[in-house]
Amino acid sequence: MENIPQADTLFCDLGVFAGPLIISVVGAGGKTSTLFWLAQQFQQAGRRVLLTTTTHMFLPERCPTLLCRDLRQLPAAVWKMPLQACFSAWLADVGKVRGFAPAMLDALLLDALLLEADIDVMLVEADGAHGFALKAPNEHEPCIPYRSSCVIAVTGGQMLGQKVGPENVHRWPLFSRITGATPGVVLDLTMLRRLIQHPQGAFKNAPAGGRRVWLLNQISQNENLPDSAFRPLLAQGDVDAVWMGAVQENPAITRRVVR
């Protein structure tokens, strides 16, 4: 257990950012679960958290939820809550909530209301994947707030060693073009690295200067993925850290590789 990274270690590099943090989660294979895990970690550290989305997501069941057209119109008491989820509308036809445009979240970060409030972290689901464990972003994706301090790109680690194709990868033509994968090929780490490195890949639209974390979710602790396989990504600045684990388990992150 002593080799398992702790939460204060995972998030220590975010201390360089002043003011409320925006952490955007993109990709596929556990974004919503990652958001709730992050919320729990920050709450345990005494931080107040606002959870929202720039796209559509399932209605959270584990935290207070509000619907409002403009976050800036929320009463001051809302910002005092340890965890609050807020969305712009309920979409009954798809059973999801709709969030806010990235520009609104960027504006909120600069708004005096938030700066004077007690919100420390804004967690944003900034991508959609229709339940798939892998995806490549379409032209309009992902929808990342410009002022994001950190972007976490999630990929379903359980897909390594499995055959992939249009039946189990969202935006398959784009994924195939970026990674070189053909229908029925067995997914390997080289293909996922291409997804991470490509300018139209997992970190597309990630703001310059922010932290980039690649999360291999739902991956076995016994998976033979040596640190050396990730070092070129770190050395070239494609990512600042690689996390491996399963966010619905405890501990959630069992390995990390950093510069």
> Which residue in the block uniquely carries the two structure tokens 């390995």?
255
- Pairwise CA distance, residues 182 & 179, whole Å: 9
pLDDT value at residue 3? 57
- Pairwise CA distance, residues 63 & 174, whole Å: 35
In sequence order, the 6+-apart residues with CB closer than 8 A to the CB of 255 are 4, 5, 221, 243, 244, 245
pLDDT per residue as tens, the chain (259 positions): 445 666 666 776 666 566 678 999 999 999 999 999 999 888 888 888 999 999 999 888 778 899 998 887 777 777 778 898 999 999 999 899 999 999 988 888 776 455 556 678 899 999 999 999 999 999 999 999 999 999 999 999 999 999 999 999 999 999 999 999 999 999 999 999 999 999 999 999 999 989 999 999 998 765 778 999 999 999 999 999 999 999 999 889 999 998 8
- Pairwise CA distance, residues 105 & 121, whole Å: 12
Which bin fits 211, alpha (ψ -120 to 50), beta or left (φ > 0)?
A: beta
Burial class (CB in 10 A: 0-12, 13-18, 19+), 159: buried
pLDDT value at residue 1? 40
CATH architecture of 7-53+120-258: 3-Layer(aba) Sandwich (3.40)
| Maximum Cα–Cα distance across the chain | 53
CA distances for 234 relative to 146, 155, 258, angstroms? 22, 17, 7
Cβ density class 69-102: b for 16+ within 10 Å, e for less: eebeebeeebbebebbbbbbeeeeeeebbbbbeb
